[in-house]
A and B are shown apart, each in its own frame.
Chain A
């Protein structure tokens, strides 16, 4: 069965540092996404990516965030200058009428 993979599973960083979260989505899917989930809260949409460009983004996805699909398989989320409130579980997903989520990266900003 196809699956979405994410690395690392846990990332600890200091406030103000840049982090890159990596994902390998299901290659023949149409859309790729990043979501975040703060502990105990709901899953929040960040951004969708279609045909190698951003399709839609939420208010959370400000100038500190960027996404790339550098090589046709990886899909990355970069946070330029992390803040304490960026601490959350970040999920990558891909969709072709069924949405498959990766296992997540737990980001801890200290």
Chain B
């Protein structure tokens, strides 16, 4: 069956460091992979989308890589700030927008 894992339930890092979050999947061939931020009690907020034929995408302090051979995406936040503390979700689409499957999320805490 299809499975999405995110490297750890929680990650603590010091302010200014780079946070690296991992999303692994099995039994899936996604057309798109997306990363979201979710704050407690709020809806997910879209951050980045990367397509199956793209290796890397950047947006300001964010970088996403996508390796369809390893079935893995890495999400990096450089120069992390306490305001980056949130849960980060990866989501895979297997049918060009018809459905998205979310991972369990990684709760990131950036310590001042």
Contacts and interface: CB of A to CB of B under 8 A. Distances in A.
Contacts of A75: none
A44 interface: yes
B96 to A, nearest CB: 10
Contacts of B44: 43, 91, 99, 101
Interface residues of A, number: 26
A55 B98 contact: yes
Given A98-B49, A100-B46, A44 B102 contact: yes
Interface string A64-96: 000000000000000000000000010101010
A99 B43 CA distance: 11
Given A42-B105, A43-B89, A56-B95, A33 B100 contact: yes
B85 to A, nearest CB: 18
Interface of A is mostly: strand
A104 B43 contact: yes
Contacts of A43: 38, 44, 89, 91, 102
A34 to B, nearest CB: 11
B107 to A, nearest CB: 11
Interface in B41-100: 41-46, 49, 89, 91, 95, 97-100
Interface of A: 30-31, 33, 35, 41-45, 48, 50, 55-56, 58, 89, 91, 93, 95, 97-104
19 contacts: A31-B98, A42-B89, A42-B105, A43-B89, A43-B102, A45-B99, A45-B101, A45-B102, A48-B97, A55-B99, A89-B41, A95-B97, A99-B34, A99-B36, A99-B44, A99-B46, A101-B44, A101-B45, A104-B41
